[in-house]
Amino acid sequence: MSEPLTSDVLAVPGRSEAPRRSAPPGRRMVSWYDPSVLAKTGLKALLSSTIGKQADRRLLDAVASPQPLFFDFSVDDAGRPRDELWLDYVSDLGDGWDSTYAVALAVAQQELVLKEPSGVTHATRAGEVLVFGGDAVYPTASLDEYQARTVRPYEAALRHGRAPPHLFAVPGNHDWYDGLVSFLRLFCQGRQSKAWRTHQRRSYFALKLPRGWWLLGTDMQLESDLDAAQVTFFENVAEQMGDGDRVILCNAEPAWIYQQVKPVAGRAFLDNNLDFLQDMVLGKKVSVFLAGDLHHYRRHENAEGQQKIVAGGGGAFLHPTHLPRVDSRPGGFELKESYPRTEVSRRITWRNLGFVAHNPWFGVFMGFVYALLGWGLAADLNATGTSHTLGSVLAGAIENTGSMLMGAVLLLGMYGFADTRRGSGWRRGAGILHGAVHLVAALLLTWAASALAGRLVGPNDSLGRDVASGLLLFVSGFLVGPTLMGAYLVVSLNVFGCHPNEAFSSLAIPDWKNFLRLRIDREGRLTVYPVGIRRVPRAWKPGETVREPEWVADPKDTRATPPELIEPPIVLGATKTPPGEVGKERRQQSQTRTFVPEDATS
């Protein structure tokens, strides 16, 4: 066996097999406040949610896409029971190149030495099975986005010769934005790539693992609904389980958190999907719940050692961890660890005061909004050629039809933007107050722009004063509008616990990434290694040897940090099924291997 690798890919003497480009062909993190991205993503979300309520393609796929009841990883290719198995779990990937590729590079290393916070090191092996836990691409699903943001980084990372893992994918809401068309084409048609081998034919699946362990992947669709065909499928899977078998259940969303932080009236029945699946279908065999959708690491544990883990750090922007209502004990589960820590998350929120630096195109948009709000009023003020009091400016704004119309549109926009998790009262109060602050700022800036334009251009050039006023309003709106938005997000999140998604998507932070490495040993114990990357590399250089990935971290980027353990490994005891019986079961069932042929293209 070769020497274990650390976070750096070791150079091996040899020559490159082909000339390389000087920079990786990756994409930047999604700029969620770019007006074009907002419009495109909002339209896709609206269409997918509307159509998804009327047409559920999972029902058609259940008929049109036959799938084995389970894929058997409890035995090797020769039909012998496995002594152990390693798996990797990555969720919420396919965003910026730096973050997605940094995680892919860690996953791709055949052996990875990880250090605990205490300094203890653990040698881990790359997973033979790779599970994508949901939202494999951002901002919306399409073949081009999957190729650029997901496939390309993983193919580049696996270039150095490691056998491609067996990939199974759980769809998230972003995968559903095109009706799951691209997801099914990429992951459910037997298409192979340099990065992985696929086998599933539907958007949900079951894996039989060594020593009485199972891994199940669900598809809750956009409505968080477990459809009838899926219930029947998992009921049939449950019939194949022994009395002492245990389950790792993968869902795209952490329902145990969302039931606290964003309850929706009338959703109680649907929110009990996990309870129904656990209690009525699987007979309380679930030992580990895995989920993404929240882009951080968070682990809850109950007195019996049952785990509920959020690990959505595969590449998407960071989400906050300081939500007080989540840090209670939901259902008897106590928060054990979060990454980043809540105090760090709270400090990160203050970066929103530099909102315009993170979102310059949103600044351009707000510049136009402020110009439209005040330009007509500024022209009226310029026409009089006299100084004005604040009261007269306010009276002029009320009389100006254009300014009043734009002001109403702005108020409605901020009302619609306000978080709904605290109810309609919060939305009315926070939304209208936020909009009113922008209106007051626009009024003051209009007053100042009119006065300053008169001094810059002179009293005799009315057209010049109007142009100067418009430019001053645009520039001041570019700076002030986003700053007020950032301040609103800071107060909303740090004081009232609202707007967590909006306050951190604005920052597009590629750091604090994470994934899970799991091991089932010969005694039947499951060990979960939570891997974190505090700061991903920002600079890359071409790999110099055939064994290396296509791109490696540039040593000049000294701020990048290696993969390390977020907390000590979580160990779950062996299954109750006697090892002898486990081996007997595997030998009996080894004659009916359930892998789809690798050359299948249907």
Q: Which residues contact 254 (CB under 8 A, 6 or more apart)?
A: 289, 291, 292, 293, 294, 298, 308, 310
How far apart (Å, rounded) are the C-alpha atoms in residues 409 and 411? 6
| pLDDT of res. 263 | 54
Based on the number of CB atoms within 10 Å of its own CB, is 71 exposed (0-12), middle (13-18) or buried (19 or more)? buried
Q: Which residues contact 82 (CB under 8 A, 6 or more apart)?
A: 73, 74, 75, 76, 210
Calculate Rg over the CA atoms of the chain. Answer: 27
The interaxial angle of helices 360-384 and 390-399, nearest 10 deg, is 100
| pLDDT of res. 62 | 56
Out of 2-16, 188-202, 217-231, 529-543, the most confident range is 529-543
Out of 263-272, 406-415, 541-550, the most confident range is 406-415
DSSP letter string, 139-169: SS--HHHHIIIIIHHHHHHTTTSPPPPEEEE
Based on the number of CB atoms within 10 Å of its own CB, is 537 exposed (0-12), middle (13-18) or buried (19 or more)? buried
| pLDDT of res. 575 | 66
Task: Please give the share of the chain, as a percent, with pLDDT higher than 70.
Answer: 82
- How far from 79 is each of 241, 439, 587, 588, CA to CA, in Å? 19, 71, 7, 9
**Paired sense of beta strands 246-251 and 166-169, if any:** unpaired
How far apart (Å, rounded) are the C-alpha atoms in residues 184 and 511? 29
What are 468's two structure tokens?
């100067």
With cut-offs at 50, 70 and 90, classify the pLDDT of residue 582: very low
With cut-offs at 50, 70 and 90, classify the pLDDT of residue 382: confident
The DSSP call for residue 281 is: I
Least confident of 28-32, 134-138, 222-226, 398-402: 222-226
| pLDDT of res. 320 | 95
Cβ pair 459, 385 in contact under 8 A: yes
How far apart (Å, rounded) are the C-alpha atoms in residues 587 and 76? 11
For 567, half-sphere exposure in the C-beta direction (CA atoms, 13 angstrom radius) is: 16
Cβ pair 549, 9 in contact under 8 A: yes
How far apart (Å, rounded) are the C-alpha atoms in residues 186 and 246? 30
Is pLDDT above 70 for 459? no
Q: For the segment 220-251, what is each residue's pLDDT rounded down to a tens digit?
A: 876 667 778 888 889 999 999 998 899 999 99
| pLDDT of res. 572 | 93
| pLDDT of res. 380 | 75
Q: For the segment 265-276, what is each residue's pLDDT rounded down to a tens digit?
A: 444 444 466 677
SS3 content of the chain, % helix, strand, coil (to 5): 45, 15, 40
What are 243's two structure tokens?
């009395």
| pLDDT of res. 23 | 55
With cut-offs at 50, 70 and 90, classify the pLDDT of residue 327: low
Phi, psi of 118 (to 5 degrees): -80, -10
In the chain, count of helices (H) and strands (E)? 19, 20
| pLDDT of res. 586 | 36
Out of 187-196, 253-262, 290-299, the most confident range is 290-299
The mean pLDDT value of the chain amounts to 82
| pLDDT of res. 270 | 45
Q: How far apart are the first and last CA of the chain?
A: 38
Task: Please give the share of the chain, as a percent, with pLDDT higher than 90.
Answer: 47
How far apart (Å, rounded) are the C-alpha atoms in residues 93 and 99? 8
| pLDDT of res. 111 | 92
Q: Which residues contact 26 (CB under 8 A, 6 or more apart)?
A: 96, 97, 98, 100, 101, 148, 152, 153
Q: How do the domains of the chain map onto residue ranges?
A: 35-340+512-535+547-589, 352-505
Based on the number of CB atoms within 10 Å of its own CB, is 3 exposed (0-12), middle (13-18) or buried (19 or more)? exposed
Is pLDDT above 50 for 5? no
Q: What is the mean pLDDT of residues 520-530?
A: 95
DSSP letter string, 35-74: HHHHHHHHHHHHHHHHHHHH--HHHHHHHHS---S-EE-S
Strand partners, 360: none
How far apart (Å, rounded) are the C-alpha atoms in residues 527 and 532? 16
With cut-offs at 50, 70 and 90, classify the pLDDT of residue 11: very low
The DSSP H or E segment spanning 255 is helix 255-261
Using alpha carbons, select from 114, 122, 74 the residue that is nearest to residue 520: 74
Burial 430-458 (b: 16+ CB within 10 A, else e): bbeebbeebbebbbebbbbbbbebbeebe
CATH superfamily label, 35-340+512-535+547-589 = Metallo-dependent phosphatases (3.60.21.10)
| pLDDT of res. 60 | 60
**Which is more confidently placed, 329 or 198?**
198
Is pLDDT above 80 for 412? yes
Q: For the segment 86-131, what is each residue's pLDDT rounded down to a tens digit?
A: 999 999 999 999 999 999 999 999 999 999 999 999 999 999 999 9
Least confident of 14-18, 204-208, 565-569: 14-18
What are 53's two structure tokens?
């309520």
Question: C-alpha angle 317/323/329, rounded to 5°?
Answer: 125
DSSP letter string, 523-548: T--EEEEEEEESS--S-EEE--STTS
**Which is more confidently placed, 416 or 24?**
416
Q: What is the mean pLDDT of residues 527-556?
A: 89
| pLDDT of res. 589 | 40
Q: What is the mean pLDDT of residues 288-301?
A: 95
- How far from 266 is each of 253, 269, 275, CA to CA, in Å? 18, 7, 17
Question: At 441, is the secondary structure helix, strand, or coil?
Answer: helix
Least confident of 309-323, 352-366, 416-430: 416-430
Q: CA-CA-CA-CA torsion for 425, 324, 249, 191, nearest 10 degrees? A: 70
Using alpha carbons, select from 208, 205, 130 the residue that is nearest to residue 166: 130
With cut-offs at 50, 70 and 90, classify the pLDDT of residue 261: low
DSSP letter string, 168-217: EE---TTGGGGTTHHHHHHHSS----SS-EE--SSS-EEEE-GGGEEEEE
Phi, psi of 375 (to 5 degrees): -65, -45
Using alpha carbons, select from 576, 587, 493 the residue that is nearest to residue 284: 576
**Which is more confidently placed, 57 or 170?**
170
| pLDDT of res. 433 | 94
Residues in the chain: 602
- How far from 376 is each of 380, 451, 478, CA to CA, in Å? 6, 14, 18
With cut-offs at 50, 70 and 90, classify the pLDDT of residue 56: low
The DSSP H or E segment spanning 502 is helix 500-505
| pLDDT of res. 19 | 39
